[in-house]
Amino acid sequence: MRLRAAVIVHYHEVSLKGGNRPLFLRRLVQNLERATSDLGRVRAQQLTGRIALDLEDHPRPEAVLGRVTRVCGVASAALAYRVPSTLEAMKAVVRRVVEGRSFPSFRISARRAFKTYPMTSVELNRALGALVVEATGARVDLHAPALTVHVEVLPAETFVYLDRVAGPGGLPVGASGTVTALLSGGIDSPVAAWRMMKRGCRVVFVHFHSVPYLPATSQDKARALVGRLTEWQYRSQLLLTPLGEIQREVVLSVPPPARVVVYRRMMVRIAEALARQTGGQALVTGESLGQVASQTLANIARTDEVAETMPILRPLIGMDKLEITAEAQRLGTFEISIEPDADCCSLFVPRHPATRISPEEIVAIEAGLDVPRLVALGVDGAKLESFEFPLR
């Protein structure tokens, strides 16, 4: 018997979407095809409660599986064989799957996606289990089997597979709208941006640099980070935005302890204007409460006050540095973030930033600045770069 291979994709949150489910599913299907588009032709099919990617004659099934398990919205995926939903066909494929493997114990995990199939899951488990015992001599162990054979019975066909690989979960990128992430070269903001992708957002990146007052290394880092994160959203935009001149003017009139908060407020004003031009509906930062002096509740409030129409989302607000670092390592952004660079925040930054500034104080401090002109300086100086997955 010639076996047809497929990747079977399971989702979780998308299935909770009620009336919007078709929309989310269509997006997930598009993203699955986009994520695998350079590996050879892969056709995604929506089936009852799951998606199948047909791999008939595909040269690189493992590579397809690797890509699929990085698509947001995917709870898990597996390389499967697809056969007609007859007991004979199921037996033949289960036999093929276990042949040549040695394992002391196993179980069959049959699931019926439609309950009118003439055999119950328990009956299927028994019939297919008996065959495996006979073919291999392994014993059945329902609790801690060395091998699990998954059998998913759909109306027209059945999928049989061994190992499930976990995906990121969440929602497909593009289903929740567009956000604008403030991307430094640090560890936190790339993780924050990824968290929003996992919630279904397309992320546009804004990076502030201090060229010509500092070298351009921070821009290369931002590019490398965006390149890495593009693996999850397939195309990205990065706005490289000048802050150096603004910082120079801030230094002339703002006392040292307040500078960090003023820089942050300028970044938010500029990012919000850029977001309006590029479809962003919210801003995203990598702040985590109390991590550094600029991230106290008071300073966060001072930052929020300057965003006019957009919420500032802080997906890492309740995470500690170890948790954030572990996630950065999983994403592959960590090794880029720890490269030394010339971060704009290292320019003209006081040793002891204020942790509490009142709304009245900050307004008085900024009275010496021509804020609209400085915002325009940043917005007009922003340079757009585009990224496509896979990177060339």
Window contacting ligand ATP (CB under 6 A); options: 58-66, 168-176, 228-236, 338-346: 338-346
Give the residues across from 149 on adjacent strands: 108
Site string for Mg ion, 333-372 (x = CB under 5 A): ----------------------------------------
Q: Taking CB under 6 A as the criterion, which residues in 154-183 touch ligand ATP?
A: 182-183
Cα dihedral: 279, 282, 286, 292 (round 10): 130
349 scored as a contact of ligand ATP (CB under 6 A):
no
Q: Interaction with Mg ion in 151-210: which residues (CB under 5 A)?
A: 184, 186
Query: Which C-beta is closer to Mg ion: that of 158 or that of 184?
Result: 184
Distance CA 307, CA 303 (A): 7
Applying the rule CB under 6 A, the residues between 257 and 276 that interact with ligand ATP are: 267
Min separation Cβ 116 and ligand ATP, Å: 53
Q: Does the footprint of ligand ATP cover residue 186 (CB under 6 A)?
A: yes
Contact flag: residue 196 with ligand ATP (CB under 6 A): no
378 is a contact residue toward Mg ion (CB under 5 A)? no
Query: Whole-number minimum distance, CB 288 to ligand ATP, in Å?
Result: 7
Give the nearer residue to ligand ATP in terms of CB position, either 152 or 287: 287
- Report how far residue 234's alpha carbon sits from residue 226's, in angstroms, rounded to the nearest whole number: 11
Rounded CA separation 49/76 (Å): 13
Q: Which of 27, 58, 207, 221 binds ligand ATP (CB under 6 A)?
A: 207
3-state secondary structure of 384: strand
- Select the residue interacting with ligand ATP from 79, 345, 357, 362 (CB under 6 A): 345
Q: What distance in Å separates the CA atoms of residue 127 and residue 134, rounded to the nearest whole number?
A: 11
Separation between Cα atoms, residue 61 and residue 283, nearest integer Å:
38
Name the binder of 208 from ligand ATP, Mg ion, none, CB < 5-8 A by kind. Answer: ligand ATP
Find which of Mg ion, ligand ATP, none residue 285 binds, CB within 5 to 8 Å per kind: ligand ATP
Helix (H, G, I), strand (E, B) or coil at 179: strand
Is residue 295 involved in binding ligand ATP (CB under 6 A)? yes
Q: Name the strand (E) or helix (H) holding 241.
A: strand 235-242
Terminal-residue alpha carbon distance, the chain: 40
Examine residue 218 and tell whether it contacts Mg ion (CB under 5 A). no
Rounded to a whole number of angstroms, the minimum distance from the CB of residue 220 to Mg ion is 16
The distance of closest approach from Cβ of residue 182 to ligand ATP in the complex, given in angstroms and rounded to an integer, is 3
The option from Mg ion, ligand ATP, none interacting with 287 (CB < 5 to 8 A, set by class) reads ligand ATP
Contact 206, 183 (CB under 8 A): yes
Q: Measure the CA–CA gap between 40 and 58, rounded to whole angstroms.
A: 7
- Residue from 158, 176, 189, 230 touching ligand ATP (CB under 6 A): that is 189
Q: In this chain, which of 31, 85, 184, 230 binds ligand ATP, going by CB under 6 A?
A: 184
Our CB check for ligand ATP shows the closer of 157 and 287 to be 287
Cβ within 8 Å of residue 143, ≥6 positions away: none
- The correct pick among 233, 236, 237, 285 for binding ligand ATP (CB under 6 A) is 285
Stretch in the footprint of ligand ATP (CB under 6 A) among 84-92, 292-300, 304-312, 380-388: 292-300
Tell me how far apart the alpha carbons of residues 147 and 205 are, in angstroms, rounded to a whole number: 44
How far apart are the C-alpha atoms of 196 and 133, rounded to whole Å?
Answer: 47
233 binds, among Mg ion, ligand ATP, none (CB under 5 to 8 A by kind): none
Candidates 33-41, 245-253, 337-345, 378-386 — which segment interacts with ligand ATP by CB under 6 A? 337-345
**94: Cα separation from own chain's centroid:** 35
Whole-Å CA distances, 55 to 39, 52, 64, 175: 11, 9, 9, 26
Residue with tokens 């998606």: 51
Other Cβ atoms within 10 Å of 317 Cβ, number: 16
Please tell me whether residue 287 binds ligand ATP under the rule CB under 6 A.
yes
Element (H, E) at 188: helix 188-198
Using an 8 Å Cβ cutoff, are 286 and 186 in contact?
A: yes
| Binding residues for ligand ATP (CB under 6 A) | 182-184, 186-189, 206-208, 267, 285-287, 291-292, 294-295, 343-345
